[in-house]
Amino acid sequence: MENVLYGLCGGLVVAVVIFIVMSIRMRALKASCDKESARLKQMLTDRMELESEGLGKLKKENEELKKANENLRISIQTYAQKPGRKELQRLTVYQTAVDRLILNSPGFGAAWQAALKESEAEFEKTYVGVQAFIRKMIPTRTDAQVIGEIEDESTK
């Protein structure tokens, strides 16, 4: 029975020594894990601050670009509202249509050139003689003005 008691005491001593050694190792491991955790938290905090600054800069730049875009949109609308712009746009549309008709319609080109020559001759007459005097005294409505009024009435 004494041998069993010695064996039991020896086993308990070995168990206590192993327990103490394991406790020391666990504390060291926990300390290193805490140290690593603190390092990772610091890295995460730094990264979040950098991303926050970058995001703030991007938002600020986005707002500036939105303001610039709005200013440009207003400038374009203002430019389009200037006198004569609608007439120029309408003339551009007409010129494109005429170019397409000349290319697509075989008989249109000759008729167009004849009508153009007649119109140019009539226009030249308005600067010489009685017609020029009458035009200065009595303003006439151009096709562009009539078209503008028709468009205004159709939008109402």
Domain edges within the chain: 1-81, 83-156
Cα–Cα distance, 155 to 62 (Å, whole number)? 36
Residue 152 pLDDT greater than 70, yes or no: no
**By C-alpha distance, which of 98, 84, 99 is closest to 142?**
84
Q: For residue range 30-78, list pLDDT tens digits in order.
A: 999 999 999 999 999 999 999 999 999 999 999 999 999 999 989 888 8
Q: CB–CB of 102/108 below 8 Å?
A: yes
User: What are the C-alpha distances in Å from 116 to residues 107, 109, 112, 119, 155?
Assistant: 15, 10, 6, 5, 32
Q: For residue range 102-130, list pLDDT tens digits in order.
A: 777 777 777 777 777 877 777 677 666 55
Token pair of 93, please?
């549309």
128-156 per-residue burial string, b: 16 or more CB within 10 A, e: under 16 = eeeeeeeeeeeeeeeebeeeeeeeeeeee
Q: CB–CB of 123/117 below 8 Å?
A: no
What spatial distance separates the first Cα and last Cα of the chain, rounded to whole Å?
Answer: 117
Is 0.75 surpassed by the pTM of this model?
no
pLDDT above 90: percentage of residues in the chain? 41
**Helices 85-104 and 2-81, axial angle in degrees (round to 10):** 90
Strands (E), the chain: none
